[in-house]
Amino acid sequence: MTVMGTRDFVDNFLSGWPKGAPPVVNVATDVSSALEVLAEGDGAVVVGFPDGLSFAMEIADLHRDRRIFVALDRDSLADLGLWRRAAGRGIVPVSADRAAAEVAAMLPGTASPKRDPVPIEAIIQAQREMIGRGERTRVIEKLTLACWSTRGGVGKTALAVNLSCMLARWGLNLRKDFRVALVDADADGGNLSYWLGCSKPRVTLPAWLDMPDKASWDTVKEYLLLHKPSGLYYLPRSIRATDEEFVTQELMEKVYKTLYRHCDAVIFDLGTSIRKENNYVPYVLSMVDIVLLVSRSDYPTIQSIKADLEELVNKWGLDLARIRLVLNRRSRGVEYKLKDIAAYVQVPLLTPALPEDPNVDRAANKGEPPVLKYPAGDFARAVSGIARHVVGSELWGEEKRGFWSRFMNVFKKGA
């Protein structure tokens, strides 16, 4: 099952998806990501973009073996002409308000009529034409997200730093006062400042204990560091182990609320501790819009994370509808399919997976984010796909020419 549409539609659909129904293994919140997901997956597709019928009709012609549903508002559902057009392509209209329940009710025993498949060359050409027409879903709104895992060494800090740099660089091309803040909320072992070339930060997370309530931006930015190459503001953890006791939920609430008030996007790099007393991680997970759950693609790690999630759903009231699975260091030629992993974990998967890329270590050893040092590398291209999902718009159609234009031109050539 693949769900695509605006971020609000996808979140609402996942929240209403009944237990026991076929798992949602892929999600997409922009047209380009949707086309990539369709090229890799199979099974039913739910489309929830504005003017979704036009998009659904185009993909119905390209992917003839897929069962396609389109979520529409009440006025559109009352249009008999629209129903006839949908039926002519084998598309099933459902109510946008009750899409999850209606799709789940129709899935058992349903199947698309089998038609001759479209040649892959024709699909690629059609995808390029759809991207070239500049189809978009929306412009970025205020965004909060967390990069998290219950296991260490999976690459969540690498994703948090590079995704944040990418969003900050892109946002400044949209608006000069666009602000992205990255918080090192891993009190046990965070090291994001090293990724940004700062081994001895002048300010760290415990300094926010002295932050005045309702402080102005001029005050707040004195409690942050600025990564000049990307325009990213960031808050490192303390380099002293004894400061860990000061990083509490109360402090994290102050950080979250202050940065949310002043910034367009706030990203947390969360720690892995799930059984610690006075744990602030559940608070952050409950507040952010999206949780990027990072895992390596080996079976032992995936199995451990699945077991942890099952425990935390009851212990923390963890909302799985907010979580997206991101696989890191996926090697070419592996035997299992991405959709099988997502179905096993029961969390939708974001594609593409982050690949093995030697440029990551080369850049990190120099204290430079790989997406800036090697923007045409495999890792940078994969991070851009995740960025498009969390933002929900076609980045290369919105920003000024320069870094992003060159970068995304490389991405489109690889489509």
Q: What are the φ and ψ backbone dihedral angles of 52, each rounded to 5 degrees? A: -65, -25
Q: What are the φ and ψ backbone dihedral angles of 269, each rounded to 5 degrees? A: -100, 100
What is the value of pTM for the model shown?
0.76
d(CA 345, CA 43): 18
Half-sphere exposure of 390 (CA within 13 A, CB side): 31
Task: For residue 58, give every residue at least 6 positions away whose Cβ sits within 8 Å of its Cβ, in sequence order, or none.
Answer: 126, 130
Report the 10 Å Cβ neighbour count for 219: 13
Looking at residue 331, its pLDDT comes to 63
Looking at residue 188, its pLDDT comes to 67
d(CA 184, CA 368): 17
Q: Are 234 and 192 in contact (CB under 8 A)?
A: yes
SS3 content of the chain, % helix, strand, coil (to 5): 45, 15, 35
Q: Are 235 and 252 in contact (CB under 8 A)?
A: no
Q: Are 182 and 161 in contact (CB under 8 A)?
A: yes
Give the tokens for residue 58: 């185009």
Ordered domains of the chain (ranges, CATH): 2-132 (3.40.50.2300), 143-413 (3.40.50.300)
How many helices (H) and strands (E) the chain has is answered by: 19, 13
Looking at residue 64, its pLDDT comes to 76
What residues pair up with 324 in beta bridges, in sequence order? 292
Cα distances from 348 to residues 4, 183, 321, 325, 345, in angstroms, run 11, 25, 9, 6, 8
Q: What are the φ and ψ backbone dihedral angles of 409, each rounded to 5 degrees? A: -60, -40
> Taking Cα atoms as reference points, which of 160, 179, 183 lies closest to residue 263?
179
d(CA 85, CA 385): 32
Q: Are 268 and 247 in contact (CB under 8 A)?
A: no
Looking at residue 71, its pLDDT comes to 93
Q: Are 181 and 235 in contact (CB under 8 A)?
A: yes
Task: State the virtual CA torsion across 119, 123, 124, 128 in degrees, nearest 10.
Answer: 150
d(CA 253, CA 398): 33
Looking at residue 273, its pLDDT comes to 73
Looking at 175-293, list the stretches that DSSP marks H as alpha helix, in order from N- to C-terminal side. Answer: 192-195, 217-220, 249-262, 281-287
User: In tens digits, what is the pLDDT along the chain, a chain of 415 residues?
Assistant: 899 998 889 989 998 988 878 888 888 888 777 877 787 667 899 999 888 888 888 888 777 778 899 999 888 888 888 888 888 888 899 999 999 998 988 876 434 444 444 444 554 555 555 555 544 433 456 899 999 999 988 999 999 999 999 999 988 888 889 999 999 988 666 688 899 998 889 899 989 999 988 899 999 999 999 999 999 999 998 777 666 777 888 999 999 999 999 999 999 999 887 766 668 899 999 999 899 999 998 888 999 999 999 888 888 888 888 899 999 987 665 556 777 888 888 888 887 889 989 999 999 999 999 999 999 999 999 998 888 888 865 443 444 444 434 444 444 444 4
